[in-house]
A and B are shown apart, each in its own frame.
Chain A
Amino acid sequence: MSRRIVGPFNRVEGDLEVHLDIQSGQVADARVVSPLYRGFEQILSGKNPRDALVYTPRICGICSVAQSAAAAAALADAQGLAMPPNGRLATNLVMATENVADHLTHFYLFFMPDFARDIYSSEPWFEDAAARFKAVSGTSASQVLPPRAEFMHLMGLLAGKWPHSLAIQPGGITRSIEVGEKSRMVSILFGFRRFLEEVLFGDTLENIAALDSADSLQRWFEQQPPERGDFRRFLRLARELGLDALGRGPDRFMSYGVYPDLEQPLFKAGVWSADESHAVDARTIAEDLSHSWMASRGQPLHPYDGITRPDADAEGAYTWCKAPRLDGEVVEVGALARQVIDGHPLALSLVRESGGNVRNRVVARLLEIARVVMAMEGWVRAIRPGDAFCTQAELPGDCSGCGMIEAARGSLGHWLKIRDGRIDNYQIISPTTWNFSPRDQRQVPGALEQALVGAPVRVGEEEPVTVQHIVRSFDPCMVCTVH
């Protein structure tokens, strides 16, 4: 058996190191290390509660709006405040813009360049993949950056700027939309849809969203040559490299649900495992500190009562990341979890067939791009200029609230306790905290740690390329993970 320390991983947001035990040509054991601690929960202690809207987005440059929305939701919960319909629609649009841009950035800039690595140079598909996806110099990077930036004009319009906007408030949004801006947004979305349909999918968004099984995906793939759209390029690589057999996670998925419409969220909340689903019982969430560089007081605590006191010498610890568990269980979060729990037939079919794996995580992200952009078009149309965008309420001096939403990378929760008008405790559990958590006190490894076991290692490989694919298939955000 050999031990390897792999890192730093780039093309993930923030810093990451992975310790591997390798035996008989595959990963036998993995430990995931988050090496950066900044201490946002300590920073927030004692602040004016509404200052959380300034600090928490700055936890993360890539999930900035999601952090902002979770903080606003926690404050709204504490105030008993609901957004007016326009506020909800505009907030959905801001969150969706970040979500879609993140998925796109992940696919083109973070994930696909690994297939252009020299280790694949003898593969029959390599020449095309390298020309298209090589980091920096491949044709896709320079083709994708301009439409991505143009799409982000929605942020300029709706949120002032991205990242780090203060537009999302507990009672709605600070930026009212008038008729002129509505038509700008329709045009921007039209242009972005055209880019997605021509470059990413080689098909309409409707046809992508209508794929309803692993078989229909296969038939769709075969309808056109594999160079017709980058989604097909990926499906070809997935087939050639067996990415559906790589990076199997815990196969227990969680989503808090996201994009509240008037009646119900666009994507439902829930927990899914072994073809059974049930509601998320947030009371059973607890963070285990047994392997974290944290001063611990025994049993895992619910985030309302969570404690963040760093201890670089904590015994048995190997990461700054805490280990959140739902009713004691490891869960995987992200686009695949969201689409499975929402009951999308393609996601369900893929997971029934092969579980959570590298291919299915990427397919779910692209499926979500199609579904969310279609929903965005509807939300823009539904905005009613002249109606209210933001409501107000006093914030009681002593209260508590939680904000549970979905960021691009999965379930994000903020838990806030206010005493004498100041933040008494603020605890955050981010998507990658779930996915990249360390072991818990029962020695059960986190989702990525489980997914890495069994990854094949090629002869002579120091830093296995399969490990690169598995790690990035989760689209980790390490700055959120520890915060």
Chain B
Amino acid sequence: MAEIPSANGLLNLLWLQSGGCGGCSLSLLGAESPDLLTSLEAAGIRLLWHPSLSEASGQEFRALLERLKSGDQKLDILCVEGSAVTGPDGSGRFHMMAGSDQPMMRWIEDLAAVAGQVFAVGSCAAYGGITAAGSNPSEARGLQFDGDRRGGLLGADFSGRSGAPVINIAGCPVHPNWVTESLMQSASGELTEDQLDDLGRPRSYADHLVHHGCPRNEFYEFKASAEKPSDLGCMMEHMGCLGTQAHGDCNTRLWNGEGSCLRGGFACINCTAPGFEEPGHAFHQTPKIAGIPVGLPTDMPKAWFVALASLSKAATPKRLRENAVSDHIKVAPRSREPGDT
């Protein structure tokens, strides 16, 4: 994945949307320190076209796609947001590109073939995502994955002109900085294949767990659990939270300056993972066998977890036990008094 030089020194970026909600673009508009346009400039990226930002519509846009397809204009970076919609019956007619008589999936294939580097932005483009939930009525697929299996619209062996596979900036939605920083790393040649995990996600955010930096960690340590929405306790035991297993730096980076799902008081649903859209149980409840949550941290022996959990539960301070099932701090940490040791 070497640097892709362009004639004017800037990298040309095209952004397409298909079977998704546009939420990753909207999240991206919230980029801060610096804002989105400045971030792109800092990475040496020239926006050829983005559906929410650019002037060109219709004919002018279609002419741009034709120039890119034919190689008359260079395409360095192709970002695709939303899954590839292949239904009904593989025809792609559930998403014909407006103003053209071609399914969007064909445009994606044609443009990926000439792109230096392809980014799947969001879990839909990466793996199929929410659009592939239920009976997957639109036959939605990821670009290079179908769920957790390699394949997808472009096939398991696809690589861009740079020789690299699709980079999966998974998340529902993506954090704006996952995108801007991945683009920056790609532009500087630092997003090498060893910087991707086995699901194609940039390790810069995917090597972390959502659990890291969770403000409810003390409740987790003592297994002081929330029982209903708005409770302050740990949401792993009852409320369906998958933060201990989910890959992402959501609680160390923060969203919209101040938040994260857990800080907002609701469960992590593991939205950076393939298949998150079909957990096999209600999202808001932790499935259990014999009272023990089924989904425990992935790299910890279960017996140890259970033993530690029962020990820490027995040691839970009153403060945590009461605050865990309250929507505000009822018992404050005690201040150390003179004479305490």
Contacts and interface: CB of A to CB of B under 8 A. Distances in A.
Interface stretch (B70-78, B156-164, B216-224, B252-260): B252-260
A160 B98 contact: no
A226 interface: no
A33 B98 contact: yes
A110 interface: yes
A176 B265 contact: yes
B22 A145 contact: no
Contact of B55 (A43, A47, A113): A113
Interface stretch (B131-139, B179-187, B189-197): B131-139
A16 interface: yes
B137 A161 contact: no
B17 interface: yes
Interface stretch (A34-42, A371-379, A427-435): A34-42
A310 interface: yes
Contact of B58 (A6, A37, A155): A6
Given A156-B255, A388-B327, A175 B27 contact: no
A390 B327 contact: yes
A117 B95 contact: no
A48 B35 contact: no
Given A167-B264, A310-B88, A35 B97 contact: yes
Nearest to A17: B98
Contacts of B85: 36-38
Contact of A15 (B54, B97, B259): B97
B87 to A, nearest CB: 8
Nearest to B176: A149
Contacts of A136: 37, 47, 53-55
Given A58-B172, A163-B23, A390-B228, A135 B54 contact: yes
Nearest to B264: A160
Q: Most chain-B Cβ atoms within 10 A of its Cβ — which of A5, A16, A43, A134?
A: A43
A279 B200 CA distance: 53
A126 interface: no
Taking residues whose C-beta sits less than 8 angstroms from the other chain, chain B's interface range is 35 or more
Contacts of A165: 261, 264, 266
A37 B138 contact: yes
A36 B199 CA distance: 28
B37 A61 contact: no
Nearest to B46: A136
A257 interface: no
Interface string A171-184: 11111101000001
Contacts of B261: 160-161, 165-166
Interface string B48-82: 01111111111101000000000000000000000
Contacts of B230: 169, 172-176, 388-390
Interface of A: 5-11, 13-17, 33, 35-39, 42-48, 50-51, 53-55, 58-62, 64, 105, 109-110, 113-114, 116-117, 134-136, 141-142, 145-146, 148-150, 152-167, 169, 171-176, 178, 184, 310, 312, 320, 385-386, 388-390, 392, 462-463, 468, 479
Q: Which 4 A-B pairs have the closest CB atoms?
A: A160-B264, A61-B23, A39-B137, A174-B265
Given A8-B57, A45-B134, A175-B230, 8 more contacts: A35-B95, A37-B85, A50-B284, A61-B25, A148-B30, A161-B261, A176-B232, A390-B230
25 contacts: A7-B57, A11-B53, A17-B99, A42-B137, A43-B130, A58-B21, A58-B130, A60-B21, A62-B26, A110-B52, A113-B55, A136-B54, A146-B32, A150-B32, A153-B257, A159-B259, A159-B264, A160-B262, A160-B266, A161-B264, A167-B265, A174-B229, A390-B228, A462-B58, A479-B20
